[in-house]
Structures are given as C-alpha cells and as structure tokens.
A and B are shown apart, each in its own frame.
Chain A
C-alpha cells in the first residue's frame, strides 16, 4: 500500500515547518486561547508543527491554574491534547522560565527547554512563524 500512496494525488505534497509562538499570559487577553485553537486545527494538516512559549507565554503551561476568581474558562488542560494531535515539538525558553521563578516541573506537559540562542536557531529554520 505504501507504494500506492506515492501516486495518491490527494496526499499533501508540501510539508512546511510551522512554528506558533506564544508570548502572552493565558488570561487578560485572548491571544493564548486563540493561538491554541489554531495549533489544534493546524495539526490536522500533516505539517511539521512546533509550538513555542516565551516571555509571559510560559505561564500558559503553569500547573494548577485556578480561574474561578476571574470567571474565565481554564483551558490549560487542553495543552495535554497536543500530544494526541501529534504535536510533539513544544519549546519553552529557558530565560523566560527562570525570570518567572519556574522550572519545567511546574508545567502541565513535558517540554523541551531551550536557551534563547538555541531557540533563535530553531526559529530561523522555520518556513512559517505565527506569533501571538
């Protein structure tokens, strides 16, 4: 069957590297939630998807979020679905974590922690970078 797939015209012929960059706190603005919605849709397109969390964006992944006081939906559990969608490249900037007194253990999903210089290199390799 794999031989046949090579001639399947419906199969995607272009695979690009898409990177979604989260820079904002999870609440206060809608950017975090609407970025997550894009990533979940993008995962269905068989592209090479990665997601980055930096600056206040690292707080999106903080464990034990409780939004009852602000009356907003706590969507932090949805990040756990990224793995089900085969989105496995999750990068968190080391400096942003440290500046906020956080470590990878404080986060709701396993991530790859990268120093800013290394993250810059990964970013430079992308075809499409969408920042929220």
Chain B
C-alpha cells in the first residue's frame, strides 16, 4: 500500500513524531511504499539540525533523516509553518526539503492512505 504521513507535533513535547517514525519504519519493513512525509504545525521542528537532545536519548531529527536517506523518502516541511518557527534552509537537516501546503494535498491525492499523527 502507498502511505502518506502527516506529522503535526514537534519531536519533544509530544509522542506523535515517534509514533509516526515507528509506523513509517514498520510499513517500509513490510514492503509498503511511503509516498511522502509532510511536517506541519510544530512538526516542522523535526527538521531542525540545530536540535541537540541529550546523547542518551533518541534524536528524531537524525532518525528521520537517516530513514529518509535509506529509503529515498520525500521529507517535506511546510514553508508557511516553518517560517513562523524560524526553520529555514540554513538550519534544515539534510534529506528534508521545504515546500508548500500543496504537497500535503497532493500526497493525500496520490497515496492510498494518509495517516495523521498529532496531539
């Protein structure tokens, strides 16, 4: 099945991004396709390469980047939500790209299922 993923929360305050990451990894492991992961609301913080969580904790920014690289996943950060929160190309982790909300709608059209992870 072809999935699209929407993440609406940042990597620390909520578990949404953790759950989305585990869902995405499990889906890929089962041979499903991930059409796109779209980061919206505080979800855009998942792309901030300046994030430095304690070393004995998981680092979702690098986990997403690594998973994206391994499987060629399109990791898209909403430009409007990102600008509000100071997320620009200068702080964007490799493997993510900044684009418009249209990418979310298009993912909803192209994917068999769009799964929302939020509060």
Contacts and interface: CB of A to CB of B under 8 A. Distances in A.
Interface residues of B, number: 17
Interface string A59-101: 0000000000000000000000000000000000000000000
Interface of B: 6, 8, 40-41, 80-81, 100-102, 104-106, 108-109, 114, 116, 118
Given A16-B108, A128-B108, A132-B8, A38 B101 contact: yes
Interface in A38-69: 38, 41-42, 44-45, 47
Tell which of A16, A34, A42, A47 has the most Cβ of chain B within 10 Å: A34
Given A30-B41, A130-B114, A130-B116, A41 B108 contact: no
B118 A131 contact: yes
Contacts of B102: 41, 44-45
Contacts, number: 44
A11 B89 CA distance: 33
Nearest to A49: B105
Given A30-B41, A31-B41, A45-B102, A131 B116 contact: yes
A37 interface: yes
Dominant secondary structure of chain A at its interface with chain B:
mixed
B58 to A, nearest CB: 25
A45 B101 contact: no
Contacts of A16: 108-109
B109 A45 contact: yes
Interface string A120-132: 0000000111111
B7 to A, nearest CB: 12
Interface residues of A, number: 20
A130 B108 CA distance: 10
A128 B105 CA distance: 10
Contact of A34 (B41, B100, B108, B109): B41
Nearest to B104: A38
A18 B104 CA distance: 12
B41 A45 contact: no
15 contacts: A14-B109, A16-B109, A18-B105, A31-B41, A38-B101, A41-B100, A41-B102, A45-B102, A45-B106, A45-B109, A127-B108, A128-B108, A129-B116, A130-B6, A132-B8
